[in-house]
Structure 1
Amino acid sequence: MEIAVLSKFMFDEPSVWVTVATVMTLLSTVYLGFAEIIGSHLQYSKFTNSSAKQAVAAGTKVSSRTGMLMLYTPAFVAGVVSFFVFPGGGVRFFLLKVVVTFHFFKRDFEVLFVHKYSGNMGLGSTILISIFYFYVATSLIVVHYMSLGLPEPPIDLKYVGVIMFTVGIIGNFYHHNLLAKLRTDKEKEYKIPRGGLFNLVICPHYSFEILIFYGFAFISQTPLAFACALGDSCYLIARSYQTRNWYVNKFEDFPASIKRLIPYVF
């Protein structure tokens, strides 16, 4: 019964290898979320060197600007190249290539012109996240290309996905901009974010990033795209849980009413 319902929303898997990749994608991202919960953080942002053990494990470091460019640029390049390697394919496929490419272009743009930086990033975590984002960009596009000859899902969600992506990209950029305005270029200290949805949740930029990934999923409607969205959600939920804990421990005046991702709920 559940499979019949899902078939109305998703393409069939084009091969058993894609099915394996879908399952592994979901399991690996859920594992990263579990690692965040138990305190084994990826070494970036405020969790760089979050413990003495992780400081040793992090090893070589790169500047945050360089590290973040390493995170997103390969995925952006993959998106650009996809227009030449996989031309055509219809409206849905074109929209998917556009949103994937634009998302990672926007992230590089923010790295260069929006974000303020307070430290370094562990090179190991940087490489791991970069590989993951490159994998997401390429697999979303390649798997959808492999699905082009299959029957379309009876329920078409691609334009709903475009709306979700647009809201997500605007909300994410807006709140990244608010974070950047918290301090000058010379300031390195963290502050409690204010403005926008920061008055209600500590990670609204994560909330909108989750919306972006579900935008990918609704546009593509492949099982792998939904696995990426669900896995990204699990990781960011865990990261937001630890982020709020970090703020509570660092700032005695942190408002108890501020949640993690969903206003008034979580």
Structure 2
Amino acid sequence: MVKFPRVRERGAVSLLSVKMAWLAMLSFAYPPPQSVFITVLTVFSTVGTANAGLSELRGTHLKYSKFWSINSPAREARLQSRTGMLIIYMPAILLGAASFWVFPVGNSKDLRFLILRAALTLHFLKRVLEVLFVHKFSGLMAVGSMSDISLSYFVFTAISIYIQYLSRDLPKPRIDLTYHGVVLFLTGMAGNFYHHLVLSRLRKSQGEKEYKIPSGGLFDLVTCPHYLFEIIDFVGLSFISQTIYVFAFTCATIIYLMARSCVTRRWYLSKFEDFPRRVKALVPFIF
């Protein structure tokens, strides 16, 4: 007899906690659009990205870069890494550019929408320019991995833009993070580019296959500083957008890049006896 009130009390407390958490989240994010389609895409894209990170830790890698040949069937379709990377990024950048034609710049309430589209387009434009003028490639890429990554970026860009468009008339978050997001986004872009430049200078020419231990910048502290700044880049995008979808996808991206950085550190330790163990995977002195 005395247990029932306690059960109801615990249920009421749990419900109140959920409500308070939801209200707190709405201080930082727009309410989600009332669309089953958007909800389903949000769940699939974020869960899929996070699961890709967990798969990396289990030894099932996306087959590009130094992991392109691991567990690859002999007859698996492959193509040159430079071509594959361009195919990965081009659909997203074309979609971002096309959004300015589909959704012309309107009044002042479109400012966040304009900044987000510009940031997404710039994000992938930078990657394409790096493929063309910075990175040095020596291997192949599995067509399956290329298709998965390209689709993921395309869907992310499409949903981010569409949800932002739907959110323009919804109640705005009480805390505006737009300009904080711009600063983080530009910081992430610059740091990511610098460390990609450091990596490219390890090889004297295209086609050189020898791997070396990176040094310079934050490479003396972590294995993947370019991933660290990519995370900052995505956090900046989520602050610019302030939609639940972009926040969720950013969290999934963090999980993936954390896993990928761990696997990369493990790879360096296995290939180089003199690789310094004090060098962390992603965050200096911590992780």
TM score, norm. by length of structure 2: 0.90
Please name the residue that 2:12 is paired with. none
Work out whether 1:245 is the aligned partner of 2:266: yes
Task: For residue 184 of structure 1, give the secondary structure of its aligned residue in structure 2.
Answer: coil
The 1:145/1:57 distance shift into structure 2, 3 A limit, reads farther
Tell me, yes or no, if structure 1 residue 68 matches structure 2 residue 85.
yes
Shift of 1:187: 2.1
Q: CA deviation at 1:28?
A: 1.1
Distance 1:114 1:228 in 2: 27
Determine if the alignment matches structure 1 residue 16 to structure 2 residue 16: no
Of 184, 188, 211, the match for 2:204: 184
Select 2:244's aligned residue among 202, 206, 223: 223
**Alignment equivalent of 1:84, drawn from 85, 92, 101:** 101
1:25 is aligned to 2:62: no
Q: Is 1:173 aligned to residue 193 of structure 2?
A: yes
Measured in 1, the distance between the counterparts of 2:91 and 2:45 equals: 18
Q: 1:42 matched to which residue of 2? A: 62
Q: Which one-letter code corresponds to 1:30 in the other structure?
A: A
Kept in 1: contact 2:115–2:240 (CA 8 A): yes
Following the alignment from structure 2 to structure 1, what is the Cα–Cα distance between the partners of residues 138 and 93?
A: 25
1:153 equivalent in structure 2: 173
- State the AA in 2 paired with 1:106: K
Q: Which residue does 1:4 correspond to in 2? A: 23
Which residue of 2 is the match for residue 209 of structure 1? Answer: 230
Contact 1:163 1:215 in 2 (8 A): yes
For each residue in 1:45-89, what CA deviation from the matched residue of structure 2 results, as whole angstroms up to 9, or x when unmatched?
000112xxx210771101010000011011000100001101225
- Report SS of the residue matched to 2:44: helix
Residue pair 1:58, 1:123 contacting (<8 A) in 2 also = no
- In 2, distance between residues paired with 1:112 and 1:263? 30
CA distance in 1, matches of 2:246, 2:144: 26
Q: Deviations over 1:79-101 (max 9, x none)?
A: 00001101225110110011000
Would you say the 8 A contact 1:49–1:58 is kept in 2?
no
User: 5+ residue gaps in structure 1?
Assistant: none
| Structure index of larger Rg | 2
Say whether the 8 Å CA contact 2:53–2:257 is kept in structure 1.
yes
In 2, Cα distance between equivalents of 1:26 and 1:60: 27
Percent of aligned pairs with the same amino acid = 49
Report the CA distance shift for 1:140/1:57 in structure 2 as closer, same or farther (over 3 A).
farther
Query: Structure 2: any 5+ residue segments left out of the alignment?
Result: 1-19
CA RMSD across the alignment = 1.1
- Rounded to whole Å, the distance in 1 between the matches of 2:75 and 2:231 is 27
Could you say if the C-alpha distance between residues 215 and 114 of structure 1 is closer, same or farther in structure 2, counting changes exceeding 3 Å?
same
Contact 2:45 2:152 in 1 (8 A): no
Q: Cα 1:155–1:48, aligned 2, differ >3 Å: closer, same or farther?
A: same
Instruction: Give the aligned length.
Output: 263
SS at structure 2 position matched to 1:56: coil
Q: Distance in 1 between matches of 2:123 and 2:113?
A: 16
Aligned counterparts of 2:208 and 2:88: Cα–Cα separation in 1: 24
Asked whether the equivalents of residues 90 and 128 of structure 2 are also in contact (C-alpha less than 8 Å), the reply is yes
Deviation at residue 159 of structure 1 after TM alignment: 0.4
Question: Residue 55 of structure 1 aligns to a residue in which SS?
Answer: coil
TM-score of the two chains, using structure 1 as the length reference? 0.96
